[in-house]
Chains A and B, each alone.
Chain A
Amino acid sequence: MSPPLDREAPLAGGANVEAAAPPSHPLAALLARASTLWTLLILLALIALFGIASPDFFSRASWLATSQFAVEYLLLGLGETFVIITGGIDLSVGAILGFSGMVGALAMSALIARHTGTPVVLAAGIAASLASGSFVGWINGQAITRLRLTPFVVTLGMLSMCTGGIYLLNNGENIDTIPDLVGTLGSYSIGGWIPLTVLVTALACAGSALLLDQTRFGLRTYAIGSNPVGAARAGIDVERHLVKIYTLAGFFSAVAGLMVMARFASASVQAGANDELDAITAVVIGGASLFGGRGTILGTVIGGFVITVMVTGLILIGVQPFWQQVAVGAILIFAVAVDQLRSRLIDLA
C-alpha cells in the first residue's frame, strides 16, 4: 500500500472514494504486492512440510483443531490491524476478550435466574458482551485522544484494569450458568467441516477487508497512520477516527470473547490472557508496520495462520513445544527484515 497522501484532498470532501492507486513504477508495484505474497509462501511451505511429516495433518480433526484455535488470534488480529495501521498499538485486546465474555455470561446467568426465555437470554448476553467490549475500546480511544497519552500506556493500563475486572466480576470463578444453546452452537460444524465460530471469523475477516480496502473509513485509517499531521490538515477529524478505531478493536475482542465462550460453554477467567502479543505478532508477520500506514487484513489472516499452524503442526509431528516459540519468533524477525529490504527497494525503484 502506498502512502495515500495524494488522495487526502478529495477524501476530505467526501465525494471521491477510490481503491488505492497503484504505485507509479511497475517494479515498485510488484514489490508492494510481494509483502503478503511471500508470507503466504511461508505459510504454504509450513503446511507442505507438516503434511509430509505427519499424515494426520491433512485430516478433518486437524483442520477443526487448527481453524478453531485460529479464531481467537484472527479476531483479535483484525482489530489490532486497524490500530497498528494508524500507528498505534492495543495491548488490551486479550483482556477485553476475557472481560467482555464475563460481562456477557453474567448477564445471561442473571436472566436465566429470572426464568427468561432462551432467545432473549442469548440476545442480551451477546449484546452485553459486544457493548462492554466496544465501551472499553471507546474509553481507550478517549484516553488516547483527549488526554493525549500514548496508546501503549493507555492500553497497558487497560490490560491491567480489565484483568482485575475479570476476577472482580465473579470472584475469580468461571461462569457456566449460561444457556446450553451457547455450547451447542459453539461445537456445531456445518457439514462437519466448518465450525460456526470459524464461519463468524471468516465473515468478520471479509467485512474488515472490505472496510479497510473499499471505504473512506479505510482510506482515512491509512492516511492517519502515514501522516497524522497531513491527515488533519486535509480535513480528517483524526481524534474522532482514532476513537472509532479503538472502539472497533474492543468490538472485535468481544466477538472473540463470545467465540471462546461458545467453545467452552462457559466464560473462563483465563480466557484471552496473554493473547495480545500473539495478535500483534500475527499482524506484523502479515506485513503491517508498527510505525503505521501499512498493513492488510489478508496479511493478518496469513500471519495468524502461520502462528496456529506452527502450534498444531509441531504437536502432530511430536516436536518439543518450545520450538514453536523459537520458530514464530524467527519468522517474525525474518518477516520484518525482508519487509524493510522491500521498502528500500521500492524507494530505489
Chain B
Amino acid sequence: MPGKQSLACAALAALALAALPAGAARAQGAATIALVPGITTDAFYITMQRGAATEAKKLGDTLIWQGGSSFSPETQIPVLQALLAKHPAALLIAPTDVTALINPIRQFVNAHIPVIAVDTTISDASLLTSQITSNNVQGGEAAADAIAKFAHEAGDVAVINVKPGISTTDARQKGFIAAIAKYPNMKVVAIEYDDDSPTKAFTQAQLLILKYPNLKGIFGTNVFSAEGVGKAVSASGRKGSVDVVGYDAEPDEVKLLKEGVITTLIIQQPAKEGALAVQYAADILDGKASAVPKSVQLDNVVATTATAEDPNVAQYFYQTELAR
C-alpha cells in the first residue's frame, strides 16, 4: 500500500532530518529536499516521486515525500506547516489551489527555503524559484493530430471535458480546438462537460455518436471522461470507427488502451518533472540559481493501442509503487 509506505518513508526521512542541523545547506551533497504532492495516492504523483527519488539518490541528496490523502488545500497546508518546522533545504510542491497555498509557501520563502512548483502552480509566481509543468496545450494538439491521422484529416470531432475553470483541462481543450482548425475538412461539433462523472461522459458520448453520423473521434480530457467515452463507443458498436483519445496513463487507462477501448493516450512526464525539480533544487543550493529556468513546460508523449507494448512507450505509463 503506497499510503503506508509513504508514511514510513516520511517517518524515516524525518528521523534522518532530525540528525541534521537546521537549515543545512548543501555542503557535500547531502541536502534534504521535500516533495509535497497534490495527493499521495495518485499514480501521477507516485510516478513523480520515483523520478525525484532516483535523481536525489544520484546527487546524494535525501528526498522527503509527504502530502495529504485528498487533493485539497485543507489537507495540504497542515503538511506544509509540519514540514516548515523541519526546515528542509528546498521545497518541491504541487499546490492544490492557486491562491490558498500562497501564504504557506511565502513562509518557506521567508525562511530562505527555495520553492519549486511542480505540475500545478500558484498565482503569485514571484515566490517560486522555478515552475515545472506539462504543456497541456501541446497535449491537446497531440490529441487533435491523433484523431486527424485516424480520420484521414476529414470529419467531425467532439470534446468531453471535465468542467470549465480547470487550467489544465481548459488548456488541453484550447490546444485541441486550435489544432483541429488547421485541418480544413475537420470540425469540432460539440464540447460537453461531464463533471468528472464517467456515467455522464458515457451518456454524452452515446448521444454525440447518434447526433453526428460523421463523428470520427472524441477527446476525453481526463481519466474519467476517457473511460466513459471509450466504453460508450464500444457499447454503441462503433469501436474502430470512432477514435477515442484520452489523457494520462493511470493503470486503468492503460488497461483500456491495451484492450482498444481507448485508442490513444496523451501521457505527461511526471517522473521527468520530479527529476528536473530535484536537479534544479540542487543547482540552487549549489549557488547556481541563475542557471535554473524560471518556467519549464514539458511535452507529452503519445501512446496508441498499437504501441502500448513497446517498452520505449510503456516506460511512460504511471506507476503505483513508490521508490524507496
A61 B197 Cβ-Cβ under 8 A: no
Q: List 6 A-B contacts (CB under 8 A).
A: A65-B203, A172-B41, A173-B250, A268-B224, A274-B197, A315-B208
Q: Answer yes or no: A1 CB below 8 A from chain B CBs.
A: no
Q: From known contacts A61-B236, A176-B255, infer whether A69 and B199 are also in contact, taking CB-CB under 8 Å.
A: yes
Secondary structure at the B interface, as helix, strand, loop or mixed, is helix
Q: Which residues B224-278 have CB closer than 8 A to chain A?
A: 224, 227, 231, 235-236, 250-252, 255
Q: Which residues A46-76 have CB closer than 8 A to chain B?
A: 54, 56, 59, 61-62, 64-66, 68-69, 72
B255 A65 Cβ-Cβ under 8 A: no
Bound CA span A64–B206, Å: 9
A273 B208 Cβ-Cβ under 8 A: no
Q: Answer yes or no: A332 CB below 8 A from chain B CBs.
A: no
Q: Answer yes or no: B190 CB below 8 A from chain A CBs.
A: yes
Q: From known contacts A176-B252, A268-B198, A270-B197, infer whether A312 and B231 are also in contact, taking CB-CB under 8 Å.
A: no
Q: Answer yes or no: A264 CB below 8 A from chain B CBs.
A: yes
- CB 8 Å contact bits of B32-51 with A (1 = contact, 0 = none): 00000000011100000000
B189 neighbours in A (Cβ, 8 Å): 318
A93 neighbours in B (Cβ, 8 Å): none
Q: Answer yes or no: A271 CB below 8 A from chain B CBs.
A: yes
Q: Answer yes or no: A121 CB below 8 A from chain B CBs.
A: no
Q: Answer yes or no: B20 CB below 8 A from chain A CBs.
A: no
* Chain A residue at smallest Cβ distance from B234: A187
Q: Answer yes or no: A135 CB below 8 A from chain B CBs.
A: no
| B225: min CB distance to chain A, Å | 10
B206 A61 Cβ-Cβ under 8 A: yes
- Give me the 9 closest cross-chain CB pairs, A-B, nearest first: A65-B206, A69-B203, A61-B210, A315-B207, A174-B252, A172-B41, A270-B224, A268-B198, A65-B207
Q: Measuring CB to CB, which residues of chain A are less than 8 angstroms from any residue of chain B?
A: 54, 56, 59, 61-62, 64-66, 68-69, 72, 164, 167, 171-174, 176, 187, 260, 263-266, 268, 270-271, 273-274, 311-312, 315-316, 318, 321-322
Bound CA span A344–B5, Å: 62
Q: Answer yes or no: B202 CB below 8 A from chain A CBs.
A: yes
A173 B206 Cβ-Cβ under 8 A: no
A315 B2 Cβ-Cβ under 8 A: no
Q: Which of B41, B193, B210 contacts A171 (CB 8 A)?
A: B41
Bound CA span A264–B256, Å: 12
Bound CA span A273–B195, Å: 9
Q: Answer yes or no: B320 CB below 8 A from chain A CBs.
A: yes
* Chain A residue at smallest Cβ distance from B210: A61
B190 neighbours in A (Cβ, 8 Å): 315, 318
A321 neighbours in B (Cβ, 8 Å): 192-193
Q: From known contacts A61-B210, A265-B231, A273-B197, infer whether A315 and B204 are also in contact, taking CB-CB under 8 Å.
A: yes
Q: Which of A56, A265, A268, A274 contacts B210 (CB 8 A)?
A: A56
Q: Which of B41, B204, B236, B252 contacts A167 (CB 8 A)?
A: B41
A171 B1 Cβ-Cβ under 8 A: yes
Q: Which residues B54-71 have CB closer than 8 A to chain A?
A: 69-70
Q: From known contacts A69-B199, A264-B231, infer whether A171 and B3 are also in contact, taking CB-CB under 8 Å.
A: yes
Q: From known contacts A273-B197, A274-B197, infer whether A312 and B2 are also in contact, taking CB-CB under 8 Å.
A: no
